[in-house]
Amino acid sequence: MPTITRGPAISFTNQLRSARLAALGDAEAFDGIIHAIERLGSYLSKEQLGDKGKHGSLRKYQKEIVKLAEESGMAEPPDKFRELLTPFSTLYDLVRDARNDAVHQGAFARHLARHAIELAIILEDALRNYIDSATDLMALNPVCAELWQPIGFIRQQMLANSYSYLPVRGDDENWYVVSDSAVAIFLRSEGDGEKRRKRLASRLKDASKEDLDLLKLMPAESKFVDESVSVAEALKRLKEPPPVLLVRHESDSKSLLGILTAFDLL
């Protein structure tokens, strides 16, 4: 098995994560995870295949994939937790055999997707042994809230993408963060009647001025970190509210490169 370096580890981690998130939204999209695993297997076995090697299947790459997964503490859970955590080799067999079945719809697809998602999570954990910078795991080009946008649209963005925080560039050119809890409190504090409808249609800029106790934009200038921040330092900084980090270009302290939360470092 070739030595995994930082670049391939980041690439395959991102591929697995993207495919896993897609499968969470659509069980029949489980193939994305399988294709990502097959690409990883092809990379891991390239020394054995040589230049004549062709893209293979889960069965062909099983030895290399299982060996990598063993670098994760989740690959072989203790016997007392087997009702909760399935060993990686067992999951791999289940996905490999089910993938070849003819029926990939409904309950069958959901069952297969769940096993594929668990496979991806273990492989992501193993690959993170080769990643030393926290920002290698961040969300690039993050969605930002704008002061002119209505609260209803910001709420929609949060729900559609499972975001808890959205960065906001203020009129003073400084960065702030709006949280899902602040939006929920702002919308629900007066019940579900006409007041809520008006608040859904109010612009973020106006809403934050209307009642600062309900919809607070949290200052985030102190939450900026450089691209080279370590995982240890990022975790330390995440203890301070708000629990989100903004990543800047080292050459431009005001330019937002990405966003990093505890979820990205799990």
- Which of 98, 130, 162 delimits the end of a domain? 130
**66: how many CB neighbours lie within 10 A of its CB?**
14
| Residue 62 and residue 157 in one domain | no
Residues 163 and 223 both lie in one domain: yes
Q: How big is the chain by its Cα radius of gyration, in Å?
A: 22
Q: Which of 106, 130, 154 is the last residue of a domain?
A: 130
Residue 41 structural domain: 6-130
| Average confidence (pLDDT) over 223-227 | 89
Q: What is the CATH number of the domain that holds 244?
A: 3.10.580.10
Return the DSSP state at 94: H
Residues 90 and 22 in one domain: yes
Q: Which of 110, 130, 150 is the last residue of a domain?
A: 130
Q: How far apart are CA 227 and CA 258, in angstroms?
A: 9
Q: What is the mean pLDDT of residues 112-120?
A: 93
DSSP one-letter code for 258: E
Residues 123 and 141 in one domain: no
Structure tokens at 261: 């939360």
Q: What is the mean pLDDT of residues 213-234?
A: 86
140 and 126 belong to one structural domain: no
| Percent of the chain that is helix, strand, coil (3-state, to 5) | 55, 15, 30
1 inside domain: no
Of 1-15, 100-114, 126-140, 175-189, where does mean pLDDT reach its minimum?
A: 100-114
Please state, for a pLDDT cut of 90, what percent of the chain lies above it.
48
Do 156 and 85 belong to one domain? no
- Which pLDDT belongs to residue 53? 47
Asked whether residue 241 is assigned to any structural domain, the reply reads yes
Q: Contact, 261 vs 238, CB < 8 A?
A: yes
Assess if residue 118 is contained within a domain: yes
Same domain, 80 and 178: no
Do 115 and 17 fall into the same domain? yes
The verdict on 27 and 121 lying in the same domain is: yes
59 and 113 housed in the same domain: yes
Looking at the structure of the chain, the number of domains it has is 2
Predicted confidence at residue 125, as pLDDT, reads 95
Same domain, 110 and 193: no
In a domain, 179, yes or no: yes
**93 and 39 fall within a common domain:** yes
Rounded distance between C-alpha atoms, residue 70 and residue 123, angstroms: 9
Q: Model pTM?
A: 0.80
**Residues 99, 108: Cα–Cα separation, whole Å:** 10
For 100-112, the pLDDT digits (tens) are 775 566 777 888 8
Q: Is residue 15 part of a domain?
A: yes
